[in-house]
């Protein structure tokens, strides 16, 4: 099967942040299943001049490749709903792997999911809400590990590090690490925002395997329900990556984690700072238990939680939904109207200036426009809903490079 993958090669589309998770894990898994895989860059803003050029380039590639499936990881409004409609109108099924649906469902997934054949979510809550709202194409799956990145665990006495964390230093992660170090634990961190900086994707499994304990934090930052702030906690891909690579996982508790691992024998789970410190010290002090947990978690992951096992049924289900679709060229007339709707106007340029000017005074030349985009986006999805993700949506028309 020919599969066109639409997402970024690098984390957040920025080469300096290293090779992205989806690129380094999804592509090898799809190829291991025997598919012919082509990648389309949709996250790097330097790859195209604006969103109109991005969407046109995507349709051109679909036309020339004629894939059997388009596999997307959509972040927001980079691929217009008109573009998705045009691809599906040509009889080509579209599968999207949803990320962060525990908090993005309300502002994103519920508006865009109707425009694809299969929306795969890792959030039980999002799946249940979609079902209540009549979205029958939203299905539950879960993060996993690539079969190309598995290795048997090393015994504790052969490991290089006591504790490590691999991931960006956002939210309250720096506070967690500071508290651990204050209480005498040696922790090395790798990723954007840490002194060690990002590491090559190929090295990440090596770090997990060389660590007596690999940490995972489930917090995905501060979000809002109406005027009420809350913190979203979710199962991260790291939960599966670590044991697959031969590491011993100590992770913050998240709902439904017991559905995937036996807590205490395959992975360790903590609740709060004191529990984290207590369990870390216990594992470091009992190498036999640590080694047994690492081996048990590894066996469970390799046996049940690889992308090669996840993707096969999802692809079959997606293609089945378009089994009776009429194959044909990508329709251009609707897309040409979408291109015209995306053009900037004098009034929109004035609106951008009005939004950016005061925030630049507060946040500076670089962060000010990004803050302005965030303000406009938060207003747009609340007030305009699905129109935010069309070619005429204001956030995409005003803030291409900041998106």
Residues 113, 152 within the same domain: no
For residue 237, the SS3 value is coil
The strand pair at 69-72 and 2-7 is best described as parallel
Residues 390, 296 within the same domain: no
Given a cut of 60, whether residue 100 has pLDDT beyond it is yes
* Residue 118: inside a domain: yes
> How far is residue 368's CA from residue 364's CA, in Å, rounded to a whole number?
5
* Residue 296: inside a domain: yes
Residues 235, 139 within the same domain: no
329 confidence band (pLDDT: 50, 70, 90)? confident
Given a cut of 90, whether residue 46 has pLDDT beyond it is yes
| Mean pLDDT along residues 356-383 | 95
The single-letter DSSP state of residue 331 is P
Rg (CA), the chain: 22
Residues 58, 178 within the same domain: no
| Mean pLDDT along residues 358-380 | 95
* Residue 403: inside a domain: no
Q: How many CB atoms sit inside 10 A of residue 46's CB? A: 10
Residues 130, 157 within the same domain: no
Residues 260, 326 within the same domain: no
Using an 8 Å Cβ cutoff, are 232 and 221 in contact?
Answer: yes
Check which CATH number belongs to the domain holding 104 and give it.
3.40.50.11930
What pLDDT does residue 230 have?
46
- What is the pLDDT of the chain when averaged over all its residues? 93
Domain region containing 355? 344-398
For residue 169, the SS3 value is coil
Lowest mean per-residue pLDDT among 37-51, 329-343, 385-399: 329-343
Q: What is the DSSP string of 104-136?
A: HIIIIIHHHGGGSSEEEES-HHHHHHHHHTT-T
Alpha carbon of 167 to those of 6, 51, 57, 207: distances in Å? Answer: 23, 29, 32, 12
| Mean pLDDT along residues 217-241 | 69
What pLDDT does residue 231 have?
54
Given a cut of 90, whether residue 201 has pLDDT beyond it is no
218 confidence band (pLDDT: 50, 70, 90)? confident
Residues 161, 255 within the same domain: yes
Q: How many domains does the chain have?
A: 3
| Mean pLDDT along residues 175-197 | 92
Stated pTM of the model: 0.91
| Mean pLDDT along residues 32-46 | 97
Check which CATH number belongs to the domain holding 227 and give it.
3.40.50.2000
| Mean pLDDT along residues 88-100 | 95
Given a cut of 90, whether residue 233 has pLDDT beyond it is no
* Residue 35: inside a domain: yes
What pLDDT does residue 339 have?
94
Residues 206, 324 within the same domain: no
What pLDDT does residue 79 have?
98
Residues 182, 129 within the same domain: no
The pLDDT tens digits for 253-299 are 999 999 999 999 999 999 988 999 999 999 999 999 999 999 999 99
What pLDDT does residue 176 have?
87
Given a cut of 80, whether residue 382 has pLDDT beyond it is yes
Given a cut of 60, whether residue 225 has pLDDT beyond it is no
Residues 216, 311 within the same domain: no
Given a cut of 80, whether residue 86 has pLDDT beyond it is yes
* Residue 91: inside a domain: yes
| Mean pLDDT along residues 38-49 | 97
The single-letter DSSP state of residue 306 is B
């Amino acid at each position: 099967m020919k599969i066109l993958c639409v997402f970024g090669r690098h984390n957040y589309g920025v080469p300096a942040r290293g090779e992205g998770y989806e690129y380094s894990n999804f592509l090898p898994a799809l190829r291991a299943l025997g598919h012919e895989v082509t990648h389309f860059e949709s996250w790097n803003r330097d790859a195209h001049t604006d969103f109109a050029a991005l969407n046109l380039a995507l349709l051109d590639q679909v036309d020339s490749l004629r894939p059997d499936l388009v596999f997307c990881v959509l972040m927001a409004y980079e691929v217009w709903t008109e573009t998705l409609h045009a691809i599906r109108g040509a009889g080509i099924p579209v599968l999207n792997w949803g990320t962060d649906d525990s908090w993005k469902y309300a502002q994103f997934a519920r508006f865009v999911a109707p425009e694809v054949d299969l929306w795969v979510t890792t959030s039980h809550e999002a799946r249940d809400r979609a079902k209540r709202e009549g979205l029958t194409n939203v299905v539950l799956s879960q993060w996993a590990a690539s079969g190309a990145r598995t290795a048997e665990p090393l015994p504790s006495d052969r490991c290089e590090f006591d504790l490590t964390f691999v991931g960006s230093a956002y939210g309250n992660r720096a506070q967690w690490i500071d508290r651990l170090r204050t209480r005498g634990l040696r922790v090395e961190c790798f990723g954007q925002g840490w002194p060690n900086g990002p590491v090559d994707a190929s090295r990440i499994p090596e770090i997990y395997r060389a660590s007596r304990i690999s940490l995972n934090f489930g917090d995905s930052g501060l979000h809002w329900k109406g005027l009420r702030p809350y913190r979203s906690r979710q199962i991260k891909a790291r939960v599966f990556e670590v044991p697959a690579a031969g590491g011993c996982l100590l992770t913050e508790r998240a709902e439904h984690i017991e559905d995937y691992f036996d807590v205490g024998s395959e992975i360790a789970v903590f609740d709060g700072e004191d529990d984290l410190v207590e369990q870390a010290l216990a594992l470091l002090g009992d190498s036999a238990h640590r080694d047994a947990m690492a081996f048990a978690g590894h066996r469970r992951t390799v046996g049940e939680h690889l992308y090669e096992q996840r993707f096969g049924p999802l692809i079959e289900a997606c293609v089945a939904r378009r089994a009776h679709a009429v194959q044909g060229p990508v329709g251009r007339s609707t897309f040409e109207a979408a291109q015209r709707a995306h053009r900037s106007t004098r009034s929109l340029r004035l609106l951008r200036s009005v939004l950016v000017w005061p925030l630049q005074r507060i946040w500076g030349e670089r962060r000010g426009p990004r803050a302005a985009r965030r303000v406009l986006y938060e207003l747009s999805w609340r007030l305009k809903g699905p129109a935010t993700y069309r070619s005429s949506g204001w956030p995409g028309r005003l803030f291409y490079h900041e998106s």
